[in-house]
Amino acid sequence: MSSDAKPYTIITYGTFDLFHVGHVRLLRRLADLGSKLIVACSTDEFNTLKGKTTAIPYAHRVEVLESCRYVDQVIPENTWEQKREDIVRFDADLFAMGDDWEGKFDDLRDLCDVLYLPRTENVSTTELKQLIQRMRGNGSPSRNVAAG
């Protein structure tokens, strides 16, 4: 790409709770598609509106995302409706999500390309949370680990 060429900007959205290898692989695949990756991380308040409970607070999830070498910028996701505004504001060329959202954001194609990527097999935040609950229910001791 020449020095005066516009960067190819990708934007994606998610909660990124219990950050795991599936998240890493998604972000790496997205970063490989362009020159700038923007990640909109759902705030705790927005997750509450969606009926989701997170294990990790928003500020910590942002810190993890910012430490990921594939991510260039993290912004808050506060509403469903902000996607159109974000695409315009950040001049995004590609909007990308996991394929469990297939077809849900096709209306954004008038602003940029839309891509749905396959999820990493055998790993999901929901399944991890269920496993942790089962482990706790089986008499496994729970420990609080101080953040350091």
Residue 52 known to be catalytic = yes
Residue 50 known to be catalytic = yes
Strand partners, 36: 9
CA distance 77 to 46: 7
The Cα-based distances of 128 to 12, 18, 134 in angstroms read 22, 8, 10
Catalytic residue among 50, 83, 104, 129: 50
Catalytic residue among 6, 36, 52, 83: 52
Catalytic positions, written as ranges: 50, 52
